[in-house]
A and B are shown apart, each in its own frame.
Chain A
Amino acid sequence: MSEYVEHDQTGNSVGRVEKRFFTFAAPPGVLTVESGRTLGPVTLAYETYGRLDETASNAVLVLHALTGDSHAAGYYDKADSKPGWWDIMIGPGKPIDTDRYFVVCSNVIGGCMGSTGPSSVDPATGRPFGLNFPVITIGDMVRAQKRLVEHLGIKKLLCAIGGSMGGMQVLEWAVRYPDMVRAAVPLATTTKHSALGIAFNEVARQAIMADPKWNCGDYYDGEKPGHGLAVARMIGHITYLSDESMRQKFDRRLQDRCEISFNFEEADFQVESYLRYQGQKFVDRFDANSFLYVTKAADYFNLEASHGGGSAVAAFAKARCRFLVASFSSDWLYPTYQSRAMVQAMKKNGLDVSFVEIEAKWGHDAFLLPNARLSGMLEGFLDRAAGDAAREAGHAL
């Protein structure tokens, strides 16, 4: 996902928020990840907004995409220039209304924003894990999140929401822990990462690994493989846009010049300058090894294979929640046909599902941008889930 953090037009905000940490699987306990290797202790960085109600039935879990983090809304400090990455959607009076819902967002394991990942210190060696960190999967991320959710006293999530790799986690939650999810919103995502998606991730990873400073993942004492990571990010940014959005945003316009330069050092075109800027900005905030691990997790994601013996219908037979699936017309990374395929499998299982392809020209990034239709749907969908939860609680009394 891009860093399209938009300021809220209404001025509503959850205000000042704080990053918290939850550690589990401390020795002698371990988390055995899907590859068979063990990890422990495991820390998750997380944030919460709003208040958990008495029956713990108003929790909304927000799952971030590839390079996101736990900072989904609000500000850490008055001096922050930008709020959290989905501040347009989360806050008082917003679609994910923090006056009504208790919102939880955690950084994925393998990440670099406070959760245990390759840049964390390996207790066995006292040095950063680097490539000694086990390869993790979307399933591992979700299993770790389940520990956090239980720690917060939540037995059943009102809703799990996320786009892109966050959407993969939503699907994993719905199928792996069907009793813990009342409603699910997978946005701009897929049940299995396509060859196209894997291809772009592989090129991005090769860019990092080709940087001599990467040093087989052992670079924490010296200089970062900044160039490789920047190129990896540039590739990502191409996939997040679309032909149309690039044409509208840049076309062939030149950057700060009237004529082409006839050299390679300078960015002739605006699109080059944009990609270089995005790449550089990313180097300051993201760890190269984390990028390798999270892209690998996305590539390995195949809900049909891991939960349905190769069949999407069999995988969704395990799910019980209500779904709202949305795709975006110009998204070529997770095209609409992939969302339609998951909707079809849900329907075949008699699951209650809504689906819409939203007309949007901004490519994959559209899910992060303000969209009145998406906001309205999320609000209505959550309200209905809350109504169900209230009715169920009423029956239980």
Chain B
Amino acid sequence: MRYDLSVIASWIEPGSKVLDLGCGSGDLLHILSVDKDVRGTGIEAEEGKVTRGIEKGLSVLHGDINEEVRDYADGSFDYVILSQTLQQVYDPASLIREMLRVGKCGIVSFPNFAYYRIRGQLLFRGRAPVSRELPYEWYDTPNIRVITIRDFRRFCRKEGFVIARETAISTPHHHEKGMVVKFFPNLLATYGMFLLRRRG
């Protein structure tokens, strides 16, 4: 399994209820249901990925994460996951608030834009960074948000989201191997991962 997903999986209690926003073809949900007996639902915008998820025996809804999350009653899930999708979300504060309404916890992961090699591209080449984690040119990217680990912490403080757990990892894009970054995470980590709770 992808290293970043295995970190998320390690945070999830066995037998819990999980909602995965932007679940792709359901790799994480599949592992969680097999290894941890998790009852999961995924939301995915791309039809082909939705059908692949359902083929695996997962519950997946075809739709927009911002819309679909609204239908659930408060506290319907133990965890709501937003894995590597935050950089494409138009209104991150509202979405995370919804995640923390329908779930007891939220898990958010994103590519860290302050990773030293990305900084290097801007500093030494003077060009908009293109990396394995963020492989798009400025003119064709679905990513509309530039997020760093430090910015996200600040955002959570401002919006009143409690960071219950935080891990920074360094792993090649979609790779199975990786490591936790303890020193200078905002400089040395490719991804930031946060477990959030509501205040109070």
Contact = CB atoms under 8 A, between A and B. Distances in A.
A49 interface: no
A358 B54 contact: no
Contact of A350 (B51, B55, B58, B76): B76
Chain B interface, DSSP helix/strand/loop, else mixed: mixed
B57 A387 contact: yes
A385 to B, nearest CB: 9
A377 B62 contact: no
Interface string B55-80: 11111111100001001110010000
B61 A381 contact: no
Contact of A373 (B47, B59, B60, B73): B47
Interface in A366-390: 373, 376-377, 379-381, 383-384, 387
Interface string B31-60: 000000001010000011011101111111
A377 B73 contact: no
Measured as residues with beta carbon below 8 angstroms from the partner, the interface class of chain B is: 20 to 34
Contacts of B72: 347-348, 350
Nearest to B76: A350
Contact of A352 (B50, B56, B59): B59
Contact of B59 (A322, A348, A387): A322
Contact of A353 (B56, B57, B61): B61
B55 A379 contact: yes
A358 B39 CA distance: 25
A322 B55 CA distance: 15
A373 B57 contact: no
A373 B51 contact: yes
Nearest to B53: A354
Given A353-B59, A354-B61, A373-B47, A324 B54 contact: yes
Chain A interface, DSSP helix/strand/loop, else mixed: helix
A344 interface: yes
Given A344-B71, A350-B73, A373-B47, A356 B54 contact: yes
Nearest to A339: B62
A21 interface: no
B77 to A, nearest CB: 10
A344 B57 CA distance: 21
Given A355-B61, A356-B62, A348 B73 contact: yes
A343 interface: yes
A354 B47 contact: no
Interface of B: 39, 41, 47-48, 50-52, 54-63, 68, 71-73, 76
Given A322-B59, A377-B55, A381-B54, 6 more contacts: A348-B73, A353-B59, A354-B60, A355-B62, A373-B48, A381-B57
